[in-house]
Amino acid sequence: MIGRPEPLHDIAHLGSVELLTPKPDRSVWYFRDVLGMEVVHTDAGSAYLRGYGDYAATTVKLTAARAPGVGCISWRTASPQALERRAAAINLTGLGLGWSDGDFGRGPTYRFRDPDGHLMAIYYEEQKYRAPDHLRSTLKNLPMKYAGRGVNVRRIDHLALFAKDVAVNRTFAQQLLGFQLREHVLFDHGKVEIGSWLSPSPVHHQVAYVKDLKGGSGRLHHFSLWVDNREDVLRAADILAENGVFIEAGPSKHNNSQGFYLYSYEPGGNRIEVYTGSYLVFAPDWDVVTWNEQERGMGVYWGGALPESFIAYGTPDVPAPAPAPAPTARMPVFDPY
Amino acid sequence: MIGRPEPLHDIAHLGSVELLTPKPDRSVWYFRDVLGMEVVHTDAGSAYLRGYGDYAATTVKLTAARAPGVGCISWRTASPQALERRAAAINLTGLGLGWSDGDFGRGPTYRFRDPDGHLMAIYYEEQKYRAPDHLRSTLKNLPMKYAGRGVNVRRIDHLALFAKDVAVNRTFAQQLLGFQLREHVLFDHGKVEIGSWLSPSPVHHQVAYVKDLKGGSGRLHHFSLWVDNREDVLRAADILAENGVFIEAGPSKHNNSQGFYLYSYEPGGNRIEVYTGSYLVFAPDWDVVTWNEQERGMGVYWGGALPESFIAYGTPDVPAPAPAPAPTARMPVFDPY
Amino acid sequence: MIGRPEPLHDIAHLGSVELLTPKPDRSVWYFRDVLGMEVVHTDAGSAYLRGYGDYAATTVKLTAARAPGVGCISWRTASPQALERRAAAINLTGLGLGWSDGDFGRGPTYRFRDPDGHLMAIYYEEQKYRAPDHLRSTLKNLPMKYAGRGVNVRRIDHLALFAKDVAVNRTFAQQLLGFQLREHVLFDHGKVEIGSWLSPSPVHHQVAYVKDLKGGSGRLHHFSLWVDNREDVLRAADILAENGVFIEAGPSKHNNSQGFYLYSYEPGGNRIEVYTGSYLVFAPDWDVVTWNEQERGMGVYWGGALPESFIAYGTPDVPAPAPAPAPTARMPVFDPY
Amino acid sequence: MIGRPEPLHDIAHLGSVELLTPKPDRSVWYFRDVLGMEVVHTDAGSAYLRGYGDYAATTVKLTAARAPGVGCISWRTASPQALERRAAAINLTGLGLGWSDGDFGRGPTYRFRDPDGHLMAIYYEEQKYRAPDHLRSTLKNLPMKYAGRGVNVRRIDHLALFAKDVAVNRTFAQQLLGFQLREHVLFDHGKVEIGSWLSPSPVHHQVAYVKDLKGGSGRLHHFSLWVDNREDVLRAADILAENGVFIEAGPSKHNNSQGFYLYSYEPGGNRIEVYTGSYLVFAPDWDVVTWNEQERGMGVYWGGALPESFIAYGTPDVPAPAPAPAPTARMPVFDPY
């Protein structure tokens, strides 16, 4: 084992995700009234929200924009020193955008883009949530009262990003952020990397890169919020249906990640997942799970198929590419989550 | 933040737990036929088992003994270098027992005792589980088939150890093993540490130290196995009841840790928990949650009380101590898990 | 089988329950905001509510009163002819109170008292619920939108009444109402009937009579509302706890009835159960299940004990009786639900 | 309401279903080892099984045959008198086949065919299950131990039959058996009856008739077994998948009936449903729920579509009919269950 570098632990976890929405009021309705999140702060053009189990003051930011999509994706580091180390390393890649004062509830922040163009940030100082009296839980170790409003998601979990070149972005996440690769889908005898799932912690994945078949850049496939039990996901489906929210797929179980999923579109157009299940990865020398076309199938463990929109649609939406050359044309349907 | 040391990530996770049992055949029946674990290996006096979701070849070892209790508690390190670092650090404390070749499925192992006398070990090299054909899952990322036999626990989760002096053992786990303290119970205006819950990973706790009111040493309070949903725990209660296994407490929800618990005694006498829920801790600067007598109450979030045996009984069992001096006599009932 | 009378099918189901409350505003808060029921009508001193799955306009009536307790318990008959038959039969017993116009949403109603003095009514004409637009479900076979507010109970299920003489009231329900006896608890070698569970339909029980150890009359033990899954009951416990509602017992599983229970006190003082599980009884010649002291135990299938209040407390509360004579004093704890 | 006949209560419930299978050994494996039913009796060519919650000795009969399909469908009457009444009434229709001694565990039985040709029987005398010691439950009101083997279905629930003419068969069930119509699907402005769901008890439906698009006769769409919670259905999907059983659809939720479904094919070829949810119907004057093409949609409440096989396939399988005339060709996809 000589020469094998030790695992890097500089990134602690996904800190927050900013979503862009052309219908900010309706998007707030979706996250607050349907998913049951709490609005903790608003400023010009943005609302800041949280799940009852998130320890930080805010984990979701909704920002008015002309088109839907993902804004800044923020990662918390494990220490101030880790922040310095990561910023320095990213700076060398030429993808850095420099330091800023930090968004609401955050200290000094270093911003950069991943190779596909998604805006990201790292920071260490974080304002923890202090619930006002009416939102204080009777459980001392719960940051906020469980209100029993709608789906009542607990916390943010992960996101999936489209990428023109999955391998390049996956490598960036491994080498610059220190993420561990958990599973990937390789087509055409291992030559085409269709999707890769990575994480900085035992959580199965906090980010996935999946092939953008339309050739866009910086696009979002979906953003995912956690509930504790599969029954909560089933209940969520009832609540979404009663509220007229479009359900694209699920509830069902992916083979890859073993995640129990439910995908809907928030009014702004972004694909949102209510999620549970999956599995924790503790092995420091985890053997990456590789799926080929046949093993991957439709991505649904119990059979059935995901709708075509699940492969084609992301935010912002872009026109379909010109007629695809042969290799792309033969690419089977796959399921990036 | 100058001078604050960075978090230590040398221990990856709880690797295995050895339980001592005076009724080895019946204990195997409990873990295999009732809890649904798989026996992967046996040798003189010991059976090695696993949950279908454990990645390692084995995670539970049942060893015939005159009295029940806990044998060796093993932790996997994050790297070979981490193993060397931890062994060296522990060696300096005088609690080290030295290197050995490793048990079934393990490489070089360094053994030691915690201050209370529990036998522990650290190792890095681990044999991963390769399922034989009849136990291979149709899910490529699942190490073993989900057989649907009895409770069918997924993996090991944590254990709780009695200790004469909780603070000393908790400090050892923090400083020598790098565990993060998640919650603790402090009585008598913070002067008496009744219980502490610690972990090397986002899992809420992988070990707890709780006050041994009988003044024993090296004793076990309980060992805990994970299922994915609360409904699985309810189903487990039905299965235990149908099999005539004594249920001591639950299913119910702790306030501390938010764990959803079910405690029974395996035939050898050890207290075993079927467990889910709780919460993951991602914050590198987690604020320890402190409970006093009033906040802690009976340890049951939804009300009701744990039985007295839950405080008094551990393995091996020891006689009740001589009449307790005043401070102990005033000690309220608490719930160590 | 000559001479054995055919089963009577004149009563279709429990139609509604009126609860008396000294804190009507707080009681409405409990049923509407915490349990998630809908207020469909109010008049002088009363609020009329419903669960989203109840087909009738209203199933629960909250009426301001000096003390808590149960008001009128209404049963719907299977036909107009059945209504006439039952009224005539009850009239012969001398327990009849005569005909009235019917309460909100009801046609002609015949009122009476059971032998213990509980006020009851039978009726056939029932106003079905027609949801206003904002409460219309996207499911055509669901009477009302599933709002996802708090516990969101589906429908009323059953009630348990205290009685000085269980056998007399049980016989009345069998002979005059045509209910089938499902289970009973008999102590002292079958000589003392402690509790009996009866139903007019495959639902396990819609009424139970349980021994009033305080010797009151016309008192309520509890009233029960249905949710579809055990996980809903667990979630209900979290919601009750977060809202500061006193949880007396559960969630857990009764041996008798196999019901999965959660008992809390609504602000007016009445004991309310959130309930699921149990089993349907289809056999026209059902063999009554009989429990003696030992078999009954504490009434909790998985072990543990119900609190003493569960036996002693009912509404309205009454003073404890004078020192009990020997037979009563020896009476073991039991669990009437 | 003068002249309106009173509801008929002569049929108590679905008593048993016989399935024909060309692979009897494999079919027994499916029902016993995967679904967790118990084999209680075998004789020449048939195995008799039960769910742990069924009160009768046996509820499922597997009979070796050249092709899959449904054999005799048996209904228990509410009384001996009811049996005589129903036999006499059916006899008048010319569909009667006469009396026989009754199958295993049954008394005198009257057999007949429904208009589409399905073989049916009614009986009153029923042998209740008496568990041998090793299968006795620790719950006195449970007929048999909950073994925790595989899916461990509780009891039989309902079946769905193909019919060339749904209206004729639906009317037969209403008038001759006294079933209440709960929901139906009417296409082409109410002129084409596509499916009807009926029951003799508050259980939503115990039989459904659905249009046989292939013009066969006496064919089975599916047979359904009950579990208590939605989580049990999800777990069933995992178990089916691990055992290589083909899952055709689900787990998901129907709009019609609100049933939570999971359809697989047992090795003999019959479609079997693991089922929960739905709703009880208590109203003696239930307003039939009518669905047209648009309301019915794909039959899945949460969106998505059932596979084409779900409409086309039944047992025994028959060749596709000759090119359909215009009306059939325009018939939209529907979901009979």
pLDDT tens for chain B, 337 residues: list them. 445 688 899 999 999 999 999 999 999 999 999 999 999 999 989 999 999 999 999 999 999 999 999 999 999 999 999 999 999 999 999 999 999 999 999 999 999 999 999 999 999 999 999 999 999 999 999 999 999 999 999 999 999 999 999 999 999 999 999 999 999 999 999 999 999 999 999 999 999 999 999 999 999 999 999 999 999 999 999 999 999 999 999 999 999 999 999 999 999 999 999 999 999 999 999 999 999 999 988 889 998 889 999 999 999 999 987 654 444 333 333 344 4
Q: Which alpha helices (DSSP H) does chain A contain, by range?
A: 24-29, 80-93, 166-175, 230-242, 293-296, 309-312, 326-329
Residue B57 vs residues A201, B29, B34, B276: alpha-carbon distances, Å: 22, 20, 20, 22
Q: Omega before C267 cis (within 30°)?
A: no
- Which parts of chain A sit beneath pLDDT 70? 1-4, 322-337
End-to-end CA distance of chain D, in Å?
34
Q: Any CB–CB contact under 8 A between B228 and chain D? A: no
Query: What would the two tokens of residue A40 be?
Result: 């903790």
Surface of D (9-38) touching C: CB under 8 A: 9, 12-13
Tens of pLDDT along chain C (337 residues) come to: 445 688 899 999 999 999 999 999 999 999 999 999 999 999 989 999 999 999 999 999 999 999 999 999 999 999 999 999 999 999 999 999 999 999 999 999 999 999 999 999 999 999 999 999 999 999 999 999 999 999 999 999 999 999 999 999 999 999 999 999 999 999 999 999 999 999 999 999 999 999 999 999 999 999 999 999 999 999 999 999 999 999 999 999 999 999 999 999 999 999 999 999 999 999 999 999 999 999 998 889 998 889 999 999 999 999 987 654 444 333 333 344 4
* β-sheet with B60-64: strand ranges across: B38-43, B46-50, B60-64, B11-21, B69-77, B119-123, B109-113, B96-100
Mutate to test the interface with A, among D234, D238, D279, D300 (most CBs of A within 10 A): D234
| D307: preceding bond cis by omega (within 30 degrees) | no
Is the N-terminal amide bond of D316 cis, ω within 30° of 0? yes
Q: What pLDDT was estimated at residue A327?
A: 40
Which chain B residue lies closest to D229 (C-alpha atoms)?
Answer: B231
Going edge to edge, which strands form the sheet with C192-199?
Answer: C247-253, C259-265, C271-277, C220-226, C155-163, C207-211, C192-199, C180-187, C289-291
Distance in angstroms (rounded) separating the CA atoms of residues A236 and A153: 9
At residue A98, what are phi and psi to the nearest 5 degrees? 100, 180
Cβ within 8 Å, pair B229-D231: yes
Which H/E stretch holds residue D100? strand D96-100
Q: Quick: pLDDT tens for D222-277.
A: 999 999 999 999 999 999 999 999 999 999 999 999 999 999 999 999 999 999 99
Tally the C-alpha atoms within 13 A of residue D91's C-alpha that lie toward its C-beta.
9
Q: Which of B282, B288, B291, B293 to mutate to test the interface with A (most CBs of A within 10 A)?
A: B282
Q: Distance (Å, rounded) from C-alpha C199 to C-alpha C224? A: 14
Write down the H helix ranges in chain C: 24-29, 80-93, 166-175, 230-242, 293-296, 309-312, 326-329
Position A322 scores a pLDDT of 62
Structure tokens at A315: 């935010």
Band (D197; pLDDT cuts 50, 70, 90): very high
CA distance A156 to B286: 18
Find, in chain A, the residue whose alpha carbon is nearest to that of D230. Answer: A231
Determine if the pTM surpasses 0.90.
Answer: yes
How many helices (H) and strands (E) chain B has is answered by 7, 17
A201 exposed, middle or buried (CB, 10 Å; 0-12, 13-18, 19+)?
Answer: buried
Helix (H, G, I), strand (E, B) or coil at A84: helix
Is residue D106 classed as helix, strand or coil in its secondary structure? strand
Task: Check pLDDT > 70 for residue D334.
Answer: no
> Distance (Å, rounded) from C-alpha B36 to C-alpha C34?
39
Q: Which residues of C touch D13 (CB under 8 A)?
A: 202, 282
Q: How far is CA D225 from the centre of its chain?
A: 8
- Report, in angstroms and rounded to the nearest whole number, the Rg of chain B calculated over CA atoms: 19
| Count of C-beta atoms within a 10 Å radius of residue B264 | 27
Q: Tell whether D298 is within 8 A of chain A (Cβ).
A: no
The amino acid present at C205, given as its one-letter code, is: H
- Return the C-alpha torsion angle B195, B200, B202, B203, nearest 10: -60
Q: Which structure tokens are listed for B159?
A: 């254990």
The tens digit of pLDDT for each residue in D129-174 reads 999 999 999 999 999 999 999 999 999 999 999 999 999 999 999 9
What are the backbone angles phi and psi of residue C256, rounded to the nearest 5°?
-60, 125
Q: CA D68 to CA C326: how far, in whole Å?
A: 67
DSSP string, C158-223: EEEEEES-HHHHHHHHHHTT-PEEEEEEEETTTTEEEEEEEESSSSS-SEEEEE-TT--SS-EEEE
Q: Does A79 touch chain C (CB under 8 A)?
A: no
- Determine the pLDDT at residue B6: 87
8 Å CB contact of C148 and A231: no
Q: Which amino acid is at D124?
A: Y
**Cβ–Cβ gap C247/B307 under 8 Å:** no
| Inter-residue contact D49 to D59 (CB < 8 Å) | yes
Backbone angles phi, psi at C72, to 5 degrees: -85, 130
pLDDT (0 to 100) of residue D264 = 98
Tell me the C-alpha distance between D220 and A227, whole Å: 39
Tokens describing residue D249: 């659809």
φ and ψ at residue A43, rounded to 5 degrees: -145, -170
Q: Is A80 on the interface with D (CB under 8 A)?
A: no
Q: Which two tokens stand for residue D34?
A: 């995967």
Look at residue C324 and give its three-state secondary structure: coil
Q: Which residue of B has its CA nearest to C230?
A: B231
Does the CB of B304 have a partner CB in chain C at under 8 Å? yes
Record: contact A234-D230, CB cut-off 8 A: yes
pLDDT value, residue C299: 85
Angle at A168 between CA A166 and CA A174, to 5 degrees: 100
DSSP class of A105: T
**Dihedral class, residue C129 (left if φ above 0, else alpha if ψ from -120 to 50, else beta):** beta
With contact defined as beta carbons under 8 Å apart, do A45 and A88 qualify?
no
When scoring A231, A233, A264, A276 by the number of chain C Cβ atoms within 10 A, the one with the most, hence best to mutate, is A231
Nearest-CA distance from C34 to chain B in Å?
16
Q: C45: which DSSP letter?
A: T
Q: What is the pLDDT of residues D12-71, one digit of tens each?
A: 999 999 999 999 999 999 999 999 999 999 998 999 999 999 999 999 999 999 999 999
Dihedral angle computed from the Cα positions of residues A144, A150, A156 and A159, in that order, rounded to the nearest 10 degrees:
-170
Q: Using alpha carbons only, what angle is made at residue B180 by residues B178 and B183, rounded to the nearest 5 degrees?
A: 150
Asked if residue A110 lies in contact with residue A123, where contact means CB atoms within 8 angstroms, the answer is: yes
Output the pLDDT for position D326. 42
Note the pLDDT tens digit of each residue in A43-68. Answer: 989 999 999 999 999 999 999 999 99
Count of alpha carbons within 13 Å of B212, Cβ hemisphere only? Answer: 28
Q: Can you tell me the distance from the alpha carbon of B37 to that of B150, in angstroms, rounded to the nearest whole number?
A: 9
Residue B251 to residue C302, Cβ atoms within 8 A: yes
What is the average pLDDT across D90-116? 97
Report how far residue A78's alpha carbon sits from residue D282's, in angstroms, rounded to the nearest whole number: 59
Quote the DSSP letter at residue D55.
S
Q: What are phi and psi of A191, to 5 degrees?
A: -90, -25
* Whole-Å CA distances, A84 to A92, A123, C182: 13, 9, 71
Please report, as a single letter, which amino acid is at residue B193.
E
The two tokens of residue A311 are 């492969």
- CA-nearest of C37, C233, D225, B152 to A229 is C233
Per-residue pLDDT reduced to its tens digit, D171-192: 999 999 999 999 999 999 999 9
Q: Are B254 and B299 in contact (CB under 8 A)?
A: yes
Q: What is the pLDDT of residue C323?
A: 57
Place of tokens 């079927």: B274
Give the ipTM. 0.93
Whether D15 and D72 have beta carbons less than 8 Å apart is answered as no
Sign of the CA dihedral C121, C124, C125, C130? positive
Q: Give the whole-angstrom CA distance, residue B288 versus residue A47.
A: 30
Locus of tokens 């009801």? C106
Contact A302, D251 (CB under 8 A): yes
Show the CA angle centred on residue D222, arms to residues D217 and D225, nearest 5°.
145
Report how many Cβ contacts below 8 Å link chain A to chain C. 41
